């Protein structure tokens, strides 16, 4: 017992001496601020040893991150880049989807062109296609076929868009043929060969091109389709003396998909585009962003299990981001870069345009600042990039108002009844139409109605005493309004696009306008 007490006393003395020695050492040890070359360090440039953030606690030793912190921030960095790649690459994935969709039902050669000879109905999955004009969709592959000729008949209009969904050229009244028709010669990237005379020349920065052409059906659908089939031709320049016979692929009343994916496969599809096109068809900045997640020209896209898990998470966040930009664009507050999307600004209206400030190049109010949200706003639900879609010449072209939410700014519920009042005498030289689309696919809503559209081309619309008409959107028709009804589906959401073809000055000046889409019950 005496030995135990003695040992304890000795241990206490040793510990006490050690503590005193440590205190003495601390007195003599220099701190960073006491060295001869030390200066005052601004607090804003240093990093605390622990930082609380939205991704967790970040730990450092005097600014040097610990391995677990580096792992955490790289996970976040890869996720952020995956989100950014999705938002910036929607145009490329969408063009790929449009071309592959056409190819899936036979439009897989220059002389095999898709035509909606019975109009665009609700069976195809096609971003906000209209039911009121006749479409033809020639696809170019300049790597496979070289310089290619597109013969366009009078009266057709449309545009050529490259593999990143950028505008190349117009066809028709806003194109080189001025609506009279003619032969367009489309040249591949870097073409240095002889250019023959007698063609409207178009130079493309990419090998693949998607083209949407449309024409009025004022003479009837069948007559119009026959005229297009007789006048529209496509062939390689090398075949100009003996072009192959055209084979028309009807896309009407068939199930085929052109909508890009919103899951991990999105990145695989973008990689396909990058591998096929010239390396310089996008900027070094975008190429670097893509390469940062493994999408790089000439290299297989083969992410490991960790990266695939992160990208699967990223695409889910990115898809939600794109949908939020479309449904609820930011038009006020410190970030208001979408305030030019409103059709009726300052009126608490839900109606919005497809183009912010009608700028089809997304280059901002100054013409030099890319509005990436505006680009997402257009490409996620819509197709075709051309200045002709944003003209404001009375009686020319077309214009659009889109209601993605109701008058109370809530998403549409397919189980409820909504009403849209269209005032008397809509100022449209050609016609007007309201078409309903599926919130999931951004394509025509698939119900028992083949064409989910009502408008001036519709028969039997019931008018009110003041000449206006009420359109109803509901699972079942309100009694007495069977011809004024577009069917919706309980459990599904939807939105409506109001189109004016040949909009007159009253529409352009916003003196005439449709009501908000209001919840009835």
Q: Can you spell out the DSSP letters for 188-253?
A: PTT--S---SSSEEEE-SSSEEEEEEEE--TT-HHHHHHHHHHH-EEEEGGGTTSPPPPEEEE-TT
As a whole number of angstroms, the distance between CA 216 and CA 172 comes to 12
Q: Where do the structural domains in the chain lie, given as residue ranges?
A: 69-105+259-327, 108-250, 391-519
Please answer whether residues 140 and 204 qualify as being in contact, where contact means their C-beta atoms are separated by less than 8 angstroms.
Answer: yes
CB neighbours of residue 195 within 10 Å? 13
Which pLDDT belongs to residue 393?
A: 87
Which pLDDT belongs to residue 31?
A: 58
Q: What secondary structure letter does DSSP report for 459? A: S
As a whole number of angstroms, the distance between CA 90 and CA 205 comes to 18
As a whole number of angstroms, the distance between CA 93 and CA 127 comes to 13
As a whole number of angstroms, the distance between CA 65 and CA 56 comes to 14
What are the structure tokens assigned to 15, written together? 């510990």
Q: Give me the CATH topology for the region 69-105+259-327.
A: VPA0735-like fold (1.10.3360)
Per-residue pLDDT of the chain (521 residues; tens, 9 = 90+): 444 444 443 444 443 444 444 444 444 445 566 799 999 999 899 999 999 999 999 999 999 999 999 999 999 999 999 999 999 999 999 999 999 999 999 999 999 999 999 999 999 999 999 999 999 999 999 999 999 999 999 999 999 999 999 999 999 999 999 999 999 999 999 999 999 999 999 999 999 999 999 999 999 999 999 999 999 999 999 999 999 999 999 999 999 999 999 999 999 999 999 999 999 999 999 999 999 999 999 999 999 999 999 999 999 999 999 999 999 999 988 888 999 999 999 999 999 999 999 999 999 888 899 999 999 999 999 999 999 988 888 998 889 999 999 999 999 999 999 999 999 999 999 999 999 999 999 999 999 999 999 999 999 999 999 999 999 999 999 999 999 999 999 999 999 999 999 999 999 999 999 999 999 98
Torsion on CA atoms 193, 196, 200, 205, rounded to nearest 10: -10
The string over 70-83, giving b where at least 16 C-beta atoms fall within 10 Å of a residue's C-beta and e elsewhere, is: eebeebeebbebbb
Domains 108-250 and 391-519 share a fold: no
Which pLDDT belongs to residue 32?
A: 64
Which CATH number does the domain 391-519 belong to among 3.30.540.10, 3.40.190.10, 2.60.40.10, 2.60.120.600? 2.60.120.600
Of 191, 136, 141, 131, nearest in space to 158 by CA? 136
Please answer whether residues 84 and 372 qualify as being in contact, where contact means their C-beta atoms are separated by less than 8 angstroms.
Answer: no
Which pLDDT belongs to residue 392?
A: 81
Question: How far, CA to CA in Å, does 408 sit from each of 138, 216, 227, 350, 439?
Answer: 42, 36, 46, 8, 18
Coarse DSSP helix, strand, coil percentages of the chain, rounded to the nearest 5 percent: 30, 25, 45
As a whole number of angstroms, the distance between CA 118 and CA 120 comes to 7
Which pLDDT belongs to residue 4?
A: 42
Domain 108-250 architecture:
Sandwich (2.60)
Per residue, what are the HEC states of 328-397? CCCCCCCCCCCHHHECCCCCCCCCECCCHHHCCCCCCCCCCCCCHHHHHHHHCCCCCCCHHHHCCCCCCC
As a whole number of angstroms, the distance between CA 149 and CA 21 comes to 91
Query: How many helices (H) and strands (E) would you count in the chain?
Result: 9, 22
Of 451, 398, 452, nearest in space to 427 by CA? 398
Backbone angles phi, psi at 304, to 5 degrees: -75, 180
What are the structure tokens assigned to 90, written together? 């929607």
Which pLDDT belongs to residue 16?
A: 46
Which pLDDT belongs to residue 25?
A: 42
Q: What is the pLDDT of residues 27-80, one digit of tens each?
A: 444 556 679 999 999 989 999 999 999 999 999 999 999 999 999 999 999 999
Which pLDDT belongs to residue 7?
A: 45
pTM, entire model: 0.91
As a whole number of angstroms, the distance between CA 225 and CA 114 comes to 12
* Side-chain-facing half-sphere of 366: CA atoms under 13 Å: 4
As a whole number of angstroms, the distance between CA 228 and CA 115 comes to 9
Please answer whether residues 172 and 158 qualify as being in contact, where contact means their C-beta atoms are separated by less than 8 angstroms.
Answer: yes
As a whole number of angstroms, the distance between CA 184 and CA 234 comes to 10
Torsion on CA atoms 402, 403, 409, 413, rounded to nearest 10: -140
As a whole number of angstroms, the distance between CA 213 and CA 195 comes to 25
As a whole number of angstroms, the distance between CA 330 and CA 348 comes to 13
């Amino acid at each position: 017992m005496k030995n135990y007490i003695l040992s304890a006393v000795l241990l206490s003395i040793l510990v006490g001496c050690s503590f005193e020695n440590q205190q003495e050492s601390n007195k003599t040890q220099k701190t960073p601020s006491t060295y001869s070359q030390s200066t005052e360090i601004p607090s804003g440039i240093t990093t605390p040893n622990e930082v609380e953030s939205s991704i967790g606690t970040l730990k450092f030793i005097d600014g040097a991150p610990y391995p677990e912190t580096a792992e955490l921030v790289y996970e976040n960095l890869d996720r952020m880049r995956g989100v950014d790649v999705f938002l910036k690459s929607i145009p490329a994935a969408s063009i790929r989807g449009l071309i592959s969709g056409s190819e899936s039902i036979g439009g897989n050669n220059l002389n095999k062109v898709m035509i909606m000879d019975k109009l665009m109905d609700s069976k195809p999955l096609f971003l906000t296609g209209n039911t009121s004009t006749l479409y033809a969709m020639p696809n170019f592959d300049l790597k496979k076929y070289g310089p290619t000729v597109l013969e366009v008949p009078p009266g057709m209009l449309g545009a050529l868009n490259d593999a990143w969904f950028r505008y190349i050229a117009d066809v028709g009244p806003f194109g080189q043929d001025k609506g009279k028709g003619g032969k367009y010669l489309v040249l591949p990237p870097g073409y240095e060969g002889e250019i023959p005379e007698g063609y409207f020349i178009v130079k493309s920065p990419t090998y693949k091109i998607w083209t949407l052409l449309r024409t009025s059906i004022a003479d009837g659908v069948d007559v119009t389709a026959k005229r297009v089939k007789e006048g529209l031709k496509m062939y390689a320049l090398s075949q100009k003396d003996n072009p192959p016979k055209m084979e028309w692929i009807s896309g009407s009343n068939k199930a085929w998909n052109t909508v890009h994916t919103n899951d991990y496969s999105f990145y695989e599809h973008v990689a396909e585009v990058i591998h096929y096109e010239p390396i310089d068809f996008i900027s070094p900045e975008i190429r670097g962003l893509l390469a940062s997640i493994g999408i790089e020209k000439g290299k297989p896209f083969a992410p490991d299990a960790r990266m695939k898990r992160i990208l699967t998470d990223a695409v889910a966040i990115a898809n939600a981001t794109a949908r939020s930009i479309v449904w609820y664009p930011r038009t006020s507050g410190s970030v208001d870069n979408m305030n030019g999307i409103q059709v009726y600004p300052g009126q608490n209206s839900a109606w919005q345009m497809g183009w912010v400030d009608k700028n089809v190049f997304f280059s901002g109010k100054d013409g030099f600042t890319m509005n990436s949200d505006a680009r997402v706003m257009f490409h996620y639900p819509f197709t075709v990039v051309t200045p002709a879609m944003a003209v404001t010449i009375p009686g020319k072209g077309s214009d659009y108002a889109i209601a993605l939410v109701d008058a109370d700014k809530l998403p549409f519920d397919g189980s409820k009844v909504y009403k849209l009042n269209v005032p008397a005498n809509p100022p449209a030289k050609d016609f007007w139409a309201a078409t309903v689309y599926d919130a999931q696919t951004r394509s025509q809503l698939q119900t028992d109605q083949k064409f989910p559209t009502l408008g001036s081309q519709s028969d039997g619309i019931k008018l009110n005493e003041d000449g206006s008409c009420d359109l109803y959107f509901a699972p079942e028709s309100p009694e007495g309004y069977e011809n004024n009804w577009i069917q919706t589906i309980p459990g599904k959401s939807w939105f409506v696009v109001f189109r004016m073809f040949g909009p007159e000055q009253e529409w352009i000046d916003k003196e005439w306008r449709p009501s908000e889409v209001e919840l009835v019950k």
